[in-house]
A and B are shown apart, each in its own frame.
Chain A
Amino acid sequence: MKNKTRLNGNTILLLITIVLFIVLYAGGCIAYGSKGFTHTQTFLNILITNAGLICVTCGLTVVMLTAGIDISVGALIAMDCMILAVGMRSGLNAIVMVLIVLVIGVAFGLFQGFLVGYLEIQPFIVTMAGMFFCRGMTAVICTEQVSITEQTSALFYKWANTKITLPFGGYLNNKGKYLAPYVRPGVIVALLLLIVTFIMLRHTKLGRSFYAIGGNAASAAMMGLNVKKVKLCAYMLSSIFCSIGAICYCLNTMAGSVSQALGLEMDAISSSVIGGTLLTGGVGNVIGSFFGVLINGTISSIVKTNGKLASSWPNILTAALLFLFIVIQSVFAMMRNRKK
């Protein structure tokens, strides 16, 4: 049978997000074309800067689909980065440190997921405790900023400075030299994770279970789904994705510090919401969340390119966008209810 999908509210929300991104980006190109905004590299830089955030947002979208929330991610990134930096300073191999960070992600996620799923504690409280714990542990490990240099880990340094050039989209600079556009390894990791999450959500039992539980947990239980286990999985995925994100993040900052990634959980939540994920669960997908991240990134990029606007402007614009999206979502929800 041929699948013909009528345009429902959720698809429209996703379309609005994509159109908004295109409009914003085109606006940037028109206004700051002379400052190089039109170069492919400008777009790629948004991806490079936000590779970590993309990973975190994927995980957070999964949690939000189950009508939960995870505000521990920013602090977990700080802790992961600190562990990476301190570990490598003490001479441990970069690969070993990456594995350690991933194991920490699994363990931390299992613990939070157990509390939320099996002990049925409010996810906000559980992950808030997780947030304080991680931020505190970061300071316990080291209160100063620890940098990762070529001396501490040559391998990690090499990863961070690898340029993966693209075969198109280059331009000649004013000295007539050809500059090929490039991305960093973190971008590849983030995009792979995005694709994996997309397929997982759409085509696996576990993925569909996240939607079912977010739609109506009681019904899902009646239909024989193991709600507790599925919730545990959601928080575990969030922490694992966050740890993967932490590695990407660290490749950009090359340091561990207590105040790193402050408020990043809010960036991830706002990206998900702008991408069409409902806080009430059951609706959303990672493609939308990805565009949510891009929109936030574009705003920052425009403000940076302008050079005169205060750095607080991205926050205000994000606030306006969030507000706009919440209003649009409510309007759709109201229209749906009226139809019945």
Chain B
Amino acid sequence: MEDNVVLTARGITMTFPGVKALENVDFTLRKGEIHALMGENGAGKSTLIKCLTGINDFEAGEIHVDGISGPVRNHSTKDAQEVGISTVYQEVNLCPNLSVAENLFIGREPMTKFHTVDRRSYNKRSQKIMDELGISVDVTQNLENYSLAIQQMVAIARAVDMDCKVLILDEPTSSLDDEEVEKLFSLMRNLRDKGVGIIFVTHFLEQVYAVCDRITVLRDGQLVGEYPIAELPRVKLVAAMMGKNLDDLAEIHKESIEDVSKNPLEISAKGISHTGTIKPFDLDIHKGEVVGVAGLLGSGRSELARAIYGADKASTGTLSVDGKEVKINQPIDAMNLGMGMLPDDRKAEGIIADLSVRENIILALQAKRGMFKQLSRARQEEIAARYIDLVQIKTADQETLVKQLSGGNQQKVILARWLATDPDFLILDEPTRGIDVGTKSEIQKMIVKLAGEGKSILFISSEIAEMLRTCNRMAIMRDGEKVGELDHDLTQENVMKAIAGGEQAQ
């Protein structure tokens, strides 16, 4: 093992039923560096971390840790801790009802000669540890009296005090505010200077550039590359994560989309936010307009839509529909105002697999009418037939159970469900994910056609190309915030630059 290297993983391969979660991935961590592990959801970050900490049992590959001869194979987090690998998760794994000092020492308390725990001794040692790390707390107070940031730092302090050489921080900043993040960073830098190797997993690009020395990017379970931070500007990082090569980005010209900016406003959001998921944003959508929402996964795309639709009740701001100010407390309010939303997780929030195609299609319409005004069977069949035909659902008949349809057709069933309510405003969250190319282009055409009929559409997608083909305008999301809009020069390169933010590509 070369000098300075504290952890190496070589050729790690791990398969889950049907999915290759990691394929031949290498990873190297040096002493005294903060190393970002980047990738979109499903890229294999968590799987790699779990292989290192003994939660996953990988199939092939070797892990070496400095100071230990021979490959290391951990079978539990306890094994990992013994070879010096500690992990601190977003959810703090401590006991809130015990004091800070007890959390640092539980399970390994110093004892008095009467075989009782030596509280005075470990209080003193805890205070010393926290003082050295520059964390100002009274260690005799219960952990629950402190903010999440402090709790996280206590978890880190515990790891450090247990002689960890490798500290893994898995999304530690997701629930912290800016000031708390800064505190956490100074602790991380402090530890780096003491020679700890830190693996930092986050989806906040800003934070990577604020604190990291090196970046390893994964995509679809494979290693994209390892880069010193200076050699990987934001745009290139985004391109690496999304799997696009900036140099040969083909310009995609959208088909002629008519100018609708003179049309009256359908939706006008002013300062809408939902505490903890999305910061206040403004968004106007004209009648007949398709507005795209672009950003990395986890940047707040779905959260923006959910706040408008009332799936997450807005904490602040006002919403106007068709020029009138409205109050949306829950999705049924939004439905009654002529909105519809196709959620991104169609298994959990969309289809009801054990009901028939007909029942799935009339579901939203029935909910809107209320429980006691049931649609007659004949009317149900008429509606179902119309929309099966309209969105071209390939099904044996109306009474086929939805679970027997293909993924693309299930998606069309949900689309049909919302179209049946005749909405003026439709939110489509990843309507084309996981379906074949043919169906994708059908859905894209349908979006343009619906807009042509005067409906307004909010279109969320991970594929910039399909939004370029369909959208009049795009809202750009980054780190839970709407950071801008693009209404002209809609090109893949411009959108990616906007998503990456900060400094521009050199």
Interface residues in chain A, defined as those with a beta carbon under 8 Å from any beta carbon in chain B: 1, 3, 5-6, 8, 199, 203-205, 208-209, 211-212, 214-216, 218-220, 222-225, 282-283, 336, 340
Q: How far does the Cβ of B131 sit from chain A's closest Cβ, in whole Å?
A: 11
Check A1–B95 contact: CB distance below 8 A: no
Indicate whether A208 sits within 8 Å of B109 (C-beta atoms), given known contacts A1-B124, A5-B140, A283-B97.
yes
Residues of chain B contacted by A199 (CB below 8 angstroms): 116
Identify the interface centre among A203, A211, A219, A336: most chain B CB within 10 Å of its CB: A219
- Enumerate chain A residues within 8 angstroms of B117, measured Cβ to Cβ: 203-205, 208
Decide: B116 and A219 in contact? CB cutoff 8 A: no
Task: Tell me which residues across on chain B come within 8 A of A222, comparing CB atoms.
Answer: 77, 93
Contact A203 B116 (CB under 8 A): yes
Residues of B within 8 A of A208 (CB): 98, 102, 106, 109, 117
- Knowing that A208-B98, A282-B96 are A-B contacts, what are 5 other residue pairs whose CB atoms are under 8 Å apart, sorted by A's residue number? A208-B109, A212-B95, A215-B95, A218-B93, A223-B103
Most A-side CB within 10 Å, residue of B97, B98, B102, B144: B97
CA distance A283 to B78 in the complex (A): 27
Q: Once the chains are docked, how many angstroms separate the CA of A220 from the CA of B103?
A: 9
B106 contacts A225, C-beta separation under 8 Å = yes
Nearest-Cβ distance from residue A225 to partner chain B, whole angstroms: 5
Question: Any chain A CB within 8 A of the CB of B107?
Answer: yes
Chain A neighbourhood of B141, CB < 8 A:
6, 8
Q: Which residues of A contact B116 (CB under 8 A)?
A: 199, 203-204
**CB < 8 Å neighbour of B98 from A3, A204, A211, A336:** A211
B488 close to chain A: CB less than 8 A? no
The CA-CA distance from A214 to B144 in the complex, in Å, is 14
In the assembled complex, which residues on chain A have CB atoms less than 8 Å from the CB atom of B78?
224
Give B residues with C-beta under 8 Å from A.
77-78, 81, 92-98, 102-103, 106-109, 111, 115-117, 119, 123-124, 127, 140-142, 144-145, 147-148, 158
Provide the residues of chain A in CB contact with B94, threshold 8 Å. Answer: 216, 219, 223
By a CB distance below 8 angstroms, the chain B residues around A218 are: 93
State whether A211 touches B97 (Cβ < 8 A).
yes
Contacts A1-B124, A225-B106; is A214 near B140 (CB within 8 Å)?
A: no
Of A8, A204, A219, A225, which contacts B142 at CB under 8 A?
A: A8
Which residues from chain A contact B147 at a C-beta distance below 8 Å?
340
Q: Which residues on A sit within 8 Å (CB–CB) of B106?
A: 208-209, 212, 220, 223, 225
Q: Report the Cα distance A214→B116, complex, angstroms.
A: 20
Chain A residues near B81 (CB, 8 Å)? 224
B381 → chain A, closest Cβ, in Å?
A: 47
Say whether A204 contacts B97, CB under 8 Å. no
A218 and B106 alpha carbons, distance in the complex (Å): 14
Task: Give every chain B residue within 8 A of A215 (Cβ-Cβ).
Answer: 95-98
Residues of B within 8 A of A223 (CB): 93-95, 103, 106-107, 158
B residues near A340, Cβ cutoff 8 Å: 147-148
A203 to B115, CA, bound (A): 9
B127 touching A1, Cβ below 8 Å: yes
A225-B97 contact in complex given A1-B124, A5-B140, C-beta closer than 8 Å: no
**Bound form: Cα–Cα A203–B121 in Å:** 13
Complex CA gap A208/B101 in Å reads: 12
Judging by beta carbons under 8 Å apart, are A203 and B93 in contact?
Answer: no
Most buried by B among A215, A282, A283: A215
**Which residue of chain A has its CB nearest to the CB of B95?**
A215
- 8 A–B contacts, CB within 8 A, in A order: A204-B117, A211-B98, A212-B102, A212-B106, A214-B97, A215-B95, A215-B97, A224-B108
**Nearest CB in chain A: distance from B334 CB, A:** 28
Tell me whether A224 and B97 are in contact (CB under 8 A).
no
Q: In the bound complex, do residue B93 and residue A225 qualify as a contact, i.e. CB atoms below 8 Å apart?
A: no
Which 9 A-B pairs have CB atoms at the shortest separation, nearest pair first? A215-B95, A203-B116, A282-B97, A215-B97, A219-B93, A224-B107, A222-B93, A212-B95, A216-B95
Chain A minimum-CB-distance residue to B87: A222
A244 to nearest B CB, angstroms? 22
Among B94, B109, B141, B148, chain A packs the most CB atoms within 10 A around the CB of B94
Taking the nearest CB of chain A, how far is it from the CB of B111, in angstroms? 8
A334 to chain B, nearest CB (A): 13
CB neighbours (8 Å) of B119 from chain A are: 203
What residues of B have a CB within 8 angstroms of the CB of A220 in the complex? Answer: 95, 106
B275 → chain A closest CB, angstroms: 12
A252 to B115, alpha carbons, bound, how many Å? Answer: 36
Known A-B contacts A8-B145, A223-B107, A225-B106; the reply to A211 vs B95 at CB < 8 A is yes
Roughly how many angstroms separate A208 CA and B95 CA in the complex, as a whole number?
11
A209 cross-chain contacts in B, Cβ below 8 A: 106
List, in ascending order, chain B residues with CB within 8 A of A283's CB: 97
The answer to whether B96 touches A205, judged by C-beta atoms less than 8 angstroms apart, is: no
Rounded to whole Å, the gap between the CB of A333 and the closest CB of chain B is 10
Using known A-B contacts A204-B116, A224-B108, determine if residue A3 contacts B97 with beta carbons closer than 8 Å: no
Alpha-carbon gap, A162 to B119, bound state (A): 41
How many Å lie between the Cα of A220 and that of B141 in the bound state?
18
Quick one: closest A residue to B92, CB to CB?
A219
Q: How far is the CB of B476 from chain A (nearest CB, A)?
A: 31
Query: Chain B residues near A6 (CB, 8 Å)?
Result: 141, 145
The CA-CA distance from A336 to B147 in the complex, in Å, is 11
Residues of A within 8 A of B103 (CB): 223
